[in-house]
Amino acid sequence: MAYTVDSNIAGKYLIYKDLPLVREGNVIYYGDMQDKYVLCLMILSYKTLTTSGGKTVEVPDMIFGQIWSTDTSLPDTERMVKQFDKKGMAEAFDFGITQLERYNKKK
């Protein structure tokens, strides 16, 4: 199923596995607000790497993740259902997506 963004929301969004992936500063949100849960990843620190060509780049190092309920009737303290921290964006994103899929499949 292709995901379509509501026409009331301005801008274009990156779609990964048919779900929107949105970055605002050091925070990345992944998931559909129509689902029961979404993933939030916060980049806490960066590390500097040097490429083989001698160019230096900053990449995310420590990531703090949370799975949040989209039920806005709940207080914020009850909406967060899982927290985790991982080293590196790939590890955090893979783990987060696995957890998000698990929580969204719960009845």
Strands 14-16 and 56-60: unpaired
DSSP string for residues in 7-76: TTS-S--EEETTEEEEEETTEEEES-TTSSEEEEEEE--EEEEE-TTS-EEEEE-EEEEEEEE--TTS-H
Over residues 90-99, the mean pLDDT reads 96
pLDDT band at 10 (very low <50, low <70, confident <90, very high): low
Which amino acid would we find at residue 107?
K
Q: Domain residue spans in the chain?
A: 21-105
Model pLDDT for residues 37-72, shown as the tens digit of each residue: 999 999 999 999 998 989 999 999 999 999 999 999
